């Protein structure tokens, strides 16, 4: 009915909501073929990108080669960081904010004194998360990207997971921007501290989330660490891949994670986080093979293992 009344954006929305694997791509192409208006095709491409559908723009959708490349860039989210910055400049919100700008402790009055009783490690961890979320995607902040090499040691005077969180937060600050994000996180991959490396791997996954690239840089950078000797590094790599390719239904990752799930000698945390990452990559797909593999893992666990809180993630 939407198609009949030429409301193609709403027609595409219905196609994406139904998202039947057998005919979704073809239905999308039919909607695109209903118009010659390139601006409308761009709007439709942005809807596909926002939904996270992985598809190739072909001749059925647009004939002109330049327009095809432009639409593919939109679908792949390769210009998303640039467009995000453009809007942020337009509405005047690019100025980095510090965690203190968000806390507004001075407005709390006497209750603010209670916060001093929190240990510094918790305060640092809270600041790391607040800073990452409030500056997400802006590629600049007053805490992480502003530090010099000389002050870097002070930043990482945290507990082990605090270090991992601090480095991973750089991925959120550089969200969608491969170039700057990878360049900054790469140096942390050379660290001797396994928690810092784990944070860098998780950060690379966050930077790459929702952005598609023919060369799969995230897979190339992270996959080698998924068999690392250090448990925390393996977890960082596994979760990094899950976040980087969430919704992509990438067969390479299915093969990689199913090997772990079928390994009876694999540590419990590897099984759990491999299952979580499979769930992220194949979200909404009702993939029977993956579901069956996770059920098999649960069946093979002993009673003591099933009592572990982490098993809820399986």
pLDDT recorded at residue 150: 42
Q: What are the angstrom distances between the C-alpha of 273 and each of 103, 161, 185, 199, 241?
A: 33, 16, 22, 15, 11
pLDDT recorded at residue 200: 95
Compute the average pLDDT of residues 156-170: 83
What whole-number percentage of the chain has pLDDT above 70?
90
* Average confidence score pLDDT of the chain: 87
Burial (0-12, 13-18, 19+ Cβ within 10 Å), 150: exposed
pLDDT recorded at residue 154: 45
Sign (positive or negative) of CA dihedral 220, 238, 53, 171: negative
Whether residue 115 is predicted with pLDDT greater than 70 in this model: the reply is no
In the chain, domain spans: 2-76, 80-102+119-245, 250-313
Helices 160-173 and 120-134, packing angle to 10 deg: 10
pLDDT recorded at residue 275: 95
In this structure, of 143-147, 264-268, 292-296, the range with the lowest mean pLDDT score is 143-147
> What does residue 274 show for φ and ψ, rounded to 5 degrees?
-65, -40
Buried b or exposed e, range 296-312, using 16+ CB within 10 angstroms: ebeeeeeeeeeeeeeee
* Sole residue written with tokens 């210009």: 79
Compute the average pLDDT of residues 162-187: 92
Three-state secondary-structure class, residue 177: coil
The number of angstroms, rounded, from the C-alpha of 314 to the middle of its chain's C-alpha atoms is 20
Give 155's pLDDT tier (boundaries 50, 70, 90): low
Distance between CA atoms of 145 and 135, rounded to whole angstroms? 11
Identify the residue with better confidence: 116 or 285: 285
pLDDT recorded at residue 269: 92
Give 151's pLDDT tier (boundaries 50, 70, 90): very low
pLDDT tens for each residue of 249-288: 999 999 999 999 999 889 999 999 999 999 999 998 889 9
Whether residue 301 is predicted with pLDDT greater than 50 in this model: the reply is yes
In this structure, of 63-72, 139-148, 190-199, the range with the lowest mean pLDDT score is 139-148
Q: What are the angstrom distances between the C-alpha of 233 and each of 74, 217, 226?
A: 33, 18, 7
Compute the average pLDDT of residues 235-246: 95
| Cα dihedral 224→226→228→231 (10° resolution) | 160
Sign (positive or negative) of CA dihedral 291, 296, 299, 300: negative
Identify the residue with better confidence: 133 or 228: 133
Give 295's pLDDT tier (boundaries 50, 70, 90): very high
pLDDT tens for each residue of 59-109: 888 888 999 999 999 999 999 999 999 999 999 988 998 888 888 777 766
């Amino acid at each position: 009915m939407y198609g009949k009344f030429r409301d193609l954006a709403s027609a595409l929305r219905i196609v994406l909501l139904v998202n039947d694997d057998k005919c979704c791509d073809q239905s999308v192409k039919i909607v695109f073929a209903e118009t010659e208006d390139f601006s409308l095709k761009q709007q439709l491409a942005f809807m596909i990108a926002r939904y996270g559908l992985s598809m190739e723009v072909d001749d059925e959708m647009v004939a002109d080669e330049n327009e095809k490349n432009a639409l593919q860039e939109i679908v792949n989210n390769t210009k998303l960081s640039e467009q995000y910055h453009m809007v942020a400049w337009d509405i005047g919100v690019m100025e980095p904010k510090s965690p203190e700008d968000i806390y507004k402790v001075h407005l709390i009055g006497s209750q603010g004194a209670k916060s001093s009783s929190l240990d510094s490690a918790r305060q640092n961890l809270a600041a790391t998360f607040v800073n990452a979320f409030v500056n997400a995607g802006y590629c600049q902040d007053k805490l992480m990207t502003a530090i010099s090499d000389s002050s870097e040691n002070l930043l990482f005077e945290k507990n082990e997971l605090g270090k991992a969180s601090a480095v991973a937060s750089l991925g959120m600050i550089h969200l969608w921007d491969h170039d700057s994000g990878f360049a900054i996180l790469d140096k942390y991959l050379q660290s001797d501290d396994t928690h810092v490396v784990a944070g860098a791997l998780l950060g690379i996954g966050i930077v790459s989330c929702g952005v598609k690239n023919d060369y799969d840089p995230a897979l190339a950078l992270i996959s080698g660490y998924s068999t690392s000797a250090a448990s925390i590094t393996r977890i960082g790599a596994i979760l990094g891949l899950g976040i980087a390719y969430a919704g992509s239904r990438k067969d390479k990752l299915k093969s990689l994670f199913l090997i772990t799930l079928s390994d009876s000698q694999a540590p419990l945390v590897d099984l759990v986080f491999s299952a979580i990452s499979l769930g992220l990559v194949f979200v909404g797909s009702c993939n029977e093979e993956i579901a069956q593999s996770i059920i098999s893992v649960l069946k093979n666990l002993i009673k003591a293992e099933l009592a572990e809180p982490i098993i809820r993630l399986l």
